[in-house]
Structure formats: C-alpha cells, structure tokens
C-alpha cells in the first residue's frame, strides 16, 4: 500500500497557500489513497525566533484546522512531530549522511537566514539542518509519496539523495520517496507582492489570506490585491504575476482552468470580486468546523495521542533498523 507523509509547521496561522498547495489534497485525495500520516511538525518551528507559548497555541490550532479541513482520524494518522522521538533520533543519523555544502545550497535556508539577519537575529544552526529533520520525518515512515507545495520540491530532492546515499553505504534501509504536487495553485503568491510566495511566517499579513480570516477580511485582502499594469485579463505568470495569481486562486477554488477563466473576464475588478467570493465560499466550511472543534479541545487531544501512538509503532522498527545498519551497537 502507498505510504504518504506530509506536514505543516506551527510558525503562524495556516494560509490559503497551505490549504491549496497541500492540505486540501491531503483531505480529498491522499488520506483515501493509502496509509497516510500527517503531522504538525513543531520542532521545525524552533528553527527561527519563536515564542514558546505561541508555538504551543499554534500547534493545537494547526491540528484543529487540519481536522476542520476534513482530515479524518479514522482514515489517516494525525500527530505532533515532537510526540514521536523517532524524528529526532533519525535526524542525527541523516546529519551523518548529509554534507554542509548541500544544506547551504537550499533556497529556503538562504531566504530565511537573510530574513533572520535583517531582523538582527542570529541564524539558528537548526535552520541549516532543518531539511535533514524533514528528511527524517519522511524516511522514518518509509513514505513513498510526499504531497507538498512547489516550494518544498528541493527539500524532497535532498531527502531522496540522502535515502539513496544511506542505502548504498549501509544496505537497503529507506524507501526513496517522491514529491507530489497539485495541478493548480502549487505556489500561491502573496497578494501584496506576487513575486514572493504566500507564507504564514511573513510579517505583513495584508497579502496573506489566513484560513481563519472572516469573510469581510478575505474580501478586503483579495480586492486590494496588487495587479499588473495594463487592463487585459491574461494568464501570464511572468508578465502579469498578480493577475495570474488571482486566476490560479479562482481556478483552484472553483475547479476551473486559469487560462479559460482569463478569457471570461473583461476587467481586473470583476475578476477580483469573483475570486473574493469564491475564496470566501471555499473557506466558510473550514472556519465553521474549526469553531465547533475548538470548543472541544479534549477531542483534538485524543486524536493527537492516538495518532502519536500509531506513528511511533510505524517509525520505531524502521529507525531501529537504520541504527543497526549505520554501525551502532544494539542495546542488550
Ligand atoms: P513558513 O513561512 O513558516 O515556511 P509556510 O506557509 O511556508 O510557512 P509550511 O509549514 O512551510 O508553511 O508548509 C506547509 C505546506 O504548505 C507545504 O507543503 C508547503 O509546500 C505548502 N505551502 C506553503 N506555502 C505555500 C504557497 N504559498 N503555495 C502553495 N503551497 C504552499
Ligand atoms: Mg514554508
């Protein structure tokens, strides 16, 4: 059976980018296709300046939102990364497999380390090693597939390289996974800056639609989206990134095709209005369900506890095997 793993970091409130690039597909397709595990990867939230109470709060909120989006704990496994020791255990072995050169090449490391420096903060060592921990997240479960947004492609490539290298040196241990991506909206751009991706940890929330934004806020953000010069509605990601982003959102929300949709609009204003309405309708059920679930934190806690137990049961034997393969003496 196909094994699937993916995760989301509690570094901020979940965004429309997270939803369209990843979560919606987990709900609609991936959880039903195989043995699927989804994780709130909280250790990754410690790689940049963080507030402990906020990370804790956002972890619970992310888990609640994943359930509100439709992950079904009867069908898939939902858990918090730090509840399963195997991630950190395996990460160390993979640090002994990766080189510092290949980690320094990671685009996200470059971007996020610049941001940390600009904010006058030190760059945490864990920001550099973050993709190794992510590789451990995936390899600990023998995942075949990793459904992620486009921005994670490079990290999954590194994961593949590490799996292949480990297998070649120490004998076959890991499944070599592959990234899968949605057909539309694999990269949702910031509404105020369509040259950069919508990211939940970014400072300026005006260009970011959060899953928990109310309808008026969503409408305002979409209506104020930066568009491009000219007036023609065309789907051209290079020449008209702002308009293309709106067309992608509209297509993803309504199940249409961005190029075809472009032909249906005579003005930016009309496109914005329909996109705003479509996004509001897309998010309405998620927000409503979130409110119900947030009123019953005991349920979310139970789901996470059972999820961690199941996840541990899958990861433990595989990580133990890696410990033996790399040359560590088994405990008597
Ligand atoms: P951060 O700014 O802290 O990196 P993020 O919004 O990028 O937060 P992640 O937790 O890093 O969120 O990613 C969770 C999932 O959402 C990943 O599969 C990632 O590829 C996807 N994703 C994140 N941003 C976007 C986006 N703008 N468009 C499409 N998918 C996205
Ligand atoms: Mg990210």
Closest to 107 in 3D by CA, of 182, 207, 197: 197
In order of 64, 126, 154, 324, the CA distances from 106 in angstroms are: 31, 13, 7, 30
Residues 244-266 have pLDDT tens digits of 999 999 999 999 999 999 999 99
In the three-class reduction of DSSP (H, G, I as helix; E, B as strand; rest coil), residue 320 is classed as helix
**Is residue 200 among the annotated active site residues?**
yes
**306 burial via Cβ count (<10 Å: 0-12, 13-18, 19+):** middle
Domains and CATH numbers, the chain: 3-181+296-326 (3.40.50.620), 205-291 (1.10.240.10)
User: Which residues neighbour 280 within 8 Å (Cβ) at sequence distance 6 or greater?
Assistant: 215, 218, 219
Closest to 67 in 3D by CA, of 76, 54, 55, 58: 76
Q: In residues, how long is the chain? A: 332
pTM of the model: 0.96
Residues 152-196 have pLDDT tens digits of 999 999 999 999 999 999 999 999 999 999 888 889 999 999 999
Of all ligands present, the nearest one to the C-alpha of 41 is 1
Residues 93-127 have pLDDT tens digits of 999 999 999 999 999 999 999 999 999 999 999 99
Regarding the beta carbon of 148 and ligand 1, being less than 6 Å apart is answered yes
Regarding the beta carbon of 81 and ligand 1, being less than 6 Å apart is answered no
**Is residue 240 among the annotated active site residues?**
no
User: Which residues neighbour 302 within 8 Å (Cβ) at sequence distance 6 or greater?
Assistant: none
């Amino acid at each position: 059976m196909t094994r699937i793993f993916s995760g989301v970091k509690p570094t901020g409130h979940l965004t429309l980018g997270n939803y369209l690039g990843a979560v919606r597909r987990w709900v609609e397709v991936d959880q039903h296709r195989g043995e699927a595990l989804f994780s709130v990867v909280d250790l990754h939230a410690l790689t940049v300046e963080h507030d402990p109470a906020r990370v804790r709060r956002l972890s619970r909120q992310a888990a609640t939102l994943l359930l509100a989006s439709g992950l079904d704990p009867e069908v898939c496994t939902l858990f918090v990364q730090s509840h399963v020791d195997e991630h950190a255990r395996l990460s160390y072995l993979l640090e002994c497999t990766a080189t510092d050169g290949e980690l320094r090449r990671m685009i996200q490391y470059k971007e996020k380390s610049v941001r940390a420096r600009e904010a006058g903060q030190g760059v945490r060592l864990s920001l550099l090693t973050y993709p190794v921990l992510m590789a451990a997240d995936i390899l600990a479960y023998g995942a075949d597939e990793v459904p992620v947004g486009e921005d994670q492609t490079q990290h999954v490539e590194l994961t593949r390289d590490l799996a292949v290298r480990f297998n070649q040196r120490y004998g076959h241990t890991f499944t070599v996974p592959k990234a899968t991506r949605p057909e539309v909206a694999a990269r949702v751009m910031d509404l105020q800056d369509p040259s950069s991706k919508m990211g939940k940890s970014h400072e300026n929330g005006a260009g970011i639609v959060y899953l928990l934004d109310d309808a008026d806020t969503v409408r305002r953000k979409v209506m104020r989206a930066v568009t491009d010069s000219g007036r023609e509605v065309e789907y051209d990601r290079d020449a008209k990134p702002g308009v293309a982003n709106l067309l992608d959102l509209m297509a993803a929300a309504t199940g249409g095709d961005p190029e075809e949709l472009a032909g249906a609009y005579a003005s930016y204003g009309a496109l914005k209005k329909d996109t705003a309405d479509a996004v509001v309708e897309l998010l309405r059920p998620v927000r409503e369900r979130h409110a119900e679930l947030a009123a019953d934190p005991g349920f979310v806690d139970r789901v996470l506890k059972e999820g961690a137990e199941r996840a541990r049961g899958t990861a433990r034997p595989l990580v133990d095997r890696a410990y033996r393969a790399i040359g560590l003496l088994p405990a008597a």
